[in-house]
Amino acid sequence: MDSSATDAVLDTLFLPIRHGRLAWPSGGTCLDAADGNAPAVLFLRARAGGVLSGCRLPGLVCEQTFKPEVDELMHTGHPVILPGEDPPVPGGYALVLVLPPRQRDEARTLLARAVMAAAPGGRVLACASNNEGARSVQADLERLAGPVEVMVKNKCRVFWSGPLQGAADPMLAQAWVRLDAPRRIAGGRYVSRPGLFAWDRIDPASALLGSLLPLDLAGHAADLGAGHGYLSVQLLERCPGIEALDVIDAERRALDLARVNLAPFQARIAIDFLWHDVMAGLARRYDVIVTNPPFHAQRGADRPDIGRRFLAAAAQALAGGGRLWLVANRHLPYEAELARGFAAVHTIAQAGGFKVIEAVKARRQASRAAVSR
């Protein structure tokens, strides 16, 4: 991730502190080293950038499950935990920061967790952009925490509670904490949860690709951006020649569910679950890669470059003669990237606004012969 890029929501989150409307629990001074005596501050769905790029705020602990954000936070010196990884601070946190995601069930769970994690007299501070339902998020926090103060800037709203003595509605908080719990979808075959891509259904693009995977795919395979593992399941059900499979995703919440969904196959095939950012490249060599590459960033913007970097990573990781099977929205301009990395590119199908493509890596012998000529 590029922490130097403008992040309006993150910048606006710290607006009340910069303007003196809300005090950082230990005074808000950047420290060169961690202060073990500073009051504990928890940052849910934390990300690097803005004030966090230039200093370490005393007492701050960041919680994040998206690998690029985790890597950037750690690179800038901020401690990062996963949900449930460390026990809560005894007595709670003096301040809990939240960047609620777009999906409302997941956002409500984070707000409920924030309120429940606050120490007596602690506060919750949250921010959302106007085009991602900032007023609704504010209303949700008010239901949990009572009246809030508000500032508006950068097409965002930042809002914070008064000193808390627990949730204003404890029963509602308990109910919302369970809103993003894993649940069965697709007739019970898969486990998913709110906040993941196409979390409550089988994505039609992935379903199209899964239905067209050829039975002769064989060897060591990888599923890039695997989500909860739908394409991995389809690959193993259809292709008996697959000998090993790497299930790769940058979102830890998805990867944990892929483990559940692929458990029935682990007795007969070696499966690795890799929490990894595909855009950073792949360390292993593969015979087969399947992917429905993302083309939106976590922050909502269209990012076709993400898909192109997935394809470049696949081209570098495939062995000679290796095969890439991918699905994408028909309008996405991936053909030029495929032409650079592969010897043969074939559009297998176009349906429902999607295209399925097979790309084959040049064999090394053919490549050397071409050079010699």
Q: How far is residue 142's CA from residue 265's CA, in Å, rounded to a whole number?
A: 46
Asked whether residue 148 is domain-assigned, the answer is yes
pTM, two decimals, is: 0.91
Q: How far is residue 97's CA from residue 114's CA, in Å, rounded to a whole number?
A: 8
**DSSP labels, 48-107:** --THHHH-B-TTEEEE--BHHHHHHHHHTT--EE-TTTSPPPTT-EEEEEE---SSHHHH
Looking at the structure of the chain, the number of domains it has is 2
Listed in sequence order, the residues at least 6 apart from 97 whose beta carbon sits closer than 8 Å to its beta carbon are 13, 41, 42, 43, 44, 46, 125, 126
Q: Are 204 and 169 within one domain? A: no
Contact 192, 117 (CB under 8 A): no
pLDDT per residue, tens digit, the chain (373 aa), is 444 458 999 999 999 999 999 999 976 556 444 455 778 999 999 999 988 887 778 899 999 999 999 999 999 889 999 998 777 788 899 999 999 999 999 999 999 999 999 999 999 999 999 999 999 999 999 999 999 999 999 999 999 999 999 999 999 999 999 999 999 999 999 999 999 999 999 999 999 999 999 999 999 999 999 999 999 999 999 999 999 999 999 999 999 999 999 999 999 999 999 999 999 999 999 999 999 998 765 555 567 789 999 999 999 999 999 999 999 999 988 999 999 999 999 999 999 999 999 999 998 754 444 434 4
CA distances from 266 to 210, 227, 229 (A): 20, 18, 13
Asked whether residue 3 is domain-assigned, the answer is no
Q: Are 277 and 255 within one domain? A: yes
Q: How far is residue 180's CA from residue 338's CA, in Å, rounded to a whole number?
A: 37
CATH number at residue 128: 3.40.50.150
Q: What is the CA radius of gyration of the chain?
A: 23
CA distances from 190 to 209, 238, 239, 285 (A): 17, 17, 19, 28
Q: Are 124 and 194 within one domain? A: no
Strands 60-63 and 93-98, bridge-based pairing: unpaired
Final residue before a domain boundary, out of 154, 177, 200: 177
Asked whether residue 1 is domain-assigned, the answer is no
Ramachandran region, residue 250 (left: φ > 0; alpha: ψ -120 to 50; beta: rest): alpha
Q: Are 350 and 364 within one domain? A: yes
Contact 127, 159 (CB under 8 A): yes
Q: Are 150 and 270 within one domain? A: no
Final residue before a domain boundary, out of 177, 200, 235: 177
Q: Are 28 and 148 within one domain? A: yes
Asked whether residue 287 is domain-assigned, the answer is yes
Asked whether residue 19 is domain-assigned, the answer is yes
Q: Are 160 and 305 within one domain? A: no
Report which DSSP code applies to 6.
Answer: -
Q: Are 97 and 196 within one domain? A: no
Range of the domain at 148: 8-177
Q: Are 48 and 103 within one domain? A: yes
Q: Are 115 and 233 within one domain? A: no
Phi and psi at residue 301, to the nearest 5°: -75, 150
Phi and psi at residue 230, to the nearest 5°: -60, -50
Asked whether residue 2 is domain-assigned, the answer is no
Final residue before a domain boundary, out of 148, 177, 206: 177
Crossing angle for the helix pair 104-117 and 170-177, to the nearest 10 degrees: 130
